[in-house]
Amino acid sequence: MTDPLRLGIAGLGTVGTGVVKIVRQKASLLAARAGRPITISAISARTRDKDRGVTLSDYAWEDDPVALATRDDVDVFVELMGGSDGPAKAATEAAIAAGKDVVTANKAMLAHHGQALAIAAENAGRVLRFEAAVAGGIPVIKALTEGLAGNEITRVMGVMNGTCNYILTRMQSAGLPYDTVFDEAAQLGYLEADPTLDVGGIDAGHKLSLLASIAFGTQVDFDAVDLEGIEKVTIADIRHAADMDYRIKLLGVARMTGRGLEQRMSPCLVPADSPLGQLEGGTNMVVLEGDMVEQIVLRGPGAGEGPTASAVMADVMDIARGCRVSTFGQPAKGLQKAQSALGATPAPYYLRMALEDKPGALAKVAAVLGEAGISIDRMRQYRHDDTTAPVLIVTHKTTRSALDAALDAMSRLDVVATEPVALRIETV
């Protein structure tokens, strides 16, 4: 097989531009590795006349990504436009219908339409691959789908939104409040146009739902992800957590339980000396656990031109080499919709609340926990600040339903001044 593999690239932002650069600058290296040349036939983007720092005049231009996706001289449609619906989805569907393989970095599209698109690709005998959609340059889709193919996966965890990890670690290192660091991140261009995609955990939740599908052989079910953003995490929480040798991370966890599939994306406490706890700045980390392999930890840049383009090229090179793995590691038409099991796995929790300076205040809180069947591992009351005192409690393992009952009862106590904050402590 020495015919060139011909790409059509839709979307020329940083990632698309990075892919063009790799194909142009590493032609002989790629050809040696793939056993055939990789070429670009045509490109498409919203704006044509813009200096992207790379020569584009060698390629046919299409204003319409659907037209690009269905060109006769395109073997692989590379979708780098983004957006869960609209042109990205239309062009991907058109590419598959026209018999093209598809490589995409579009986590939102796959989280919402991955099952249907994967079936369409299978029916057409084409592949739909998405290494770049999860954790940037880390080859985690490949590690999970292929590297651990001999394992029953027991848990997938990860810090998969670099912006959130930047915000949380910057709050800690600089001692700055959430709002200040959020503004910094915005000025640095780290946030999506709609920042709730980042800080609300949605972007990371998309990624988790894709990993869960591969890991557990179930249909992608983003709507079943228990989502909680980092907006409520305070600098006080970060400091208290550090005092107890924990770090706070926006952590995704997916696990198959006896009751069904548990998928959570929420701020969690992890041990400060664990690989996840030590993860600083915008770096991503994914932890894969299998019954044979025990635990594999993958760490790397979660975004950026080079790393994301590297991941796109991994998929392109696989196709060029004739490696044609199903989108989610097995035929999509055989994937079952998992029962959703939110809160199925008990865990210890970190609780923070402000108590009124009244006799018996702490006793009332302790009584509420006791009534809910929750035992206390550690408790600290700090000195009163005017009229209220911060209180921290670390519980022993409890269920989410018992915890919710206790939180509900606490909010009705006259001694609890603010709504208690509860963060899960994840064993890593």
The reply on whether position 325 binds a second copy by CB under 8 A is yes
The reply on whether position 176 binds a second copy by CB under 8 A is no
The reply on whether position 29 binds a second copy by CB under 8 A is yes
Distance between CA 300 and CA 143 in Å, rounded? 14
Q: What's the DSSP call for residue 134?
A: S
* Min CB(199)–a second copy separation in Å: 24
Stretch that binds a second copy, among 54-62, 200-208, 297-305, 351-359 (CB under 8 A): 297-305
148 contacts: CB under 8 Å, gap ≥ 6: 288, 290, 293, 296
Q: Considering the candidates 89, 100, 142, 207, report the single residue annotated as catalytic.
A: 207
HSE value, Cβ hemisphere, 13 Å, CA-based, for 213: 35
233 labelled binding-site residue: no
CB nearer to a second copy: pick between 28 and 57? 28
Stretch that binds a second copy, among 155-163, 203-211, 298-306, 384-392 (CB under 8 A): 298-306
13 labelled binding-site residue: yes
308 CB neighbour count, 10 Å cutoff: 26
The reply on whether position 133 binds a second copy by CB under 8 A is no
Stretch that binds a second copy, among 60-68, 170-178, 284-292, 358-366 (CB under 8 A): 284-292
Type of residue numbered 260: G
Distance between CA 320 and CA 323 in Å, rounded? 8
Distance between CA 343 and CA 264 in Å, rounded? 9
Query: Tokens for 147?
Result: 């590297």
247 contacts: CB under 8 Å, gap ≥ 6: 168, 172, 241, 269, 270, 271, 272, 276, 277, 278
Q: Hey, what's the torsion of the CAs at 307, 313, 314, 319, to 10 degrees?
A: 170
Q: What's the DSSP call for residue 286?
A: E
The reply on whether position 334 binds a second copy by CB under 8 A is yes
Q: Which of residues 213-232 bind a second copy (CB under 8 A)?
A: 217
The reply on whether position 309 binds a second copy by CB under 8 A is yes
14 labelled binding-site residue: yes
Query: Tokens for 116?
Result: 């249907």
CB nearer to a second copy: pick between 137 and 343? 137
53 labelled binding-site residue: no
The overall longest dimension of the chain from CA atoms, in Å, is 82
CB nearer to a second copy: pick between 30 and 402? 30
Known catalytic residue: 207?
A: yes
The reply on whether position 364 binds a second copy by CB under 8 A is no
The reply on whether position 296 binds a second copy by CB under 8 A is yes
Phi and psi (nearest 5°) for 28?
-75, -35
The reply on whether position 273 binds a second copy by CB under 8 A is yes
Type of residue numbered 53: G
* Min CB(258)–a second copy separation in Å: 18
Query: Tokens for 375?
Result: 């035992």
165 contacts: CB under 8 Å, gap ≥ 6: 159, 249, 250, 279, 280, 281, 282, 283, 284
The reply on whether position 36 binds a second copy by CB under 8 A is no
CB nearer to a second copy: pick between 119 and 314? 314
* Min CB(139)–a second copy separation in Å: 3
282 labelled binding-site residue: no
For 245, counting Cβ atoms within 10 Å of its Cβ (0-12 exposed, 13-18 middle, 19+ buried), the class is: exposed
The reply on whether position 245 binds a second copy by CB under 8 A is no
* Min CB(425)–a second copy separation in Å: 21
- Closest by CA position to 276, among listed 291, 288, 294, 264: 288
Positions in the binding site for a second copy (CB under 8 A)? 18, 22, 26, 29-30, 32-35, 131, 137-139, 142-143, 146-152, 217, 273, 275, 278, 290-301, 304, 306-307, 309-314, 316-318, 321-326, 329-331, 334
Mark the binding-site residues, compressed into ranges: 10-17, 107, 192
Mark the binding-site residues for NADP(+), compressed into ranges: 10-17
Active site residues: 207
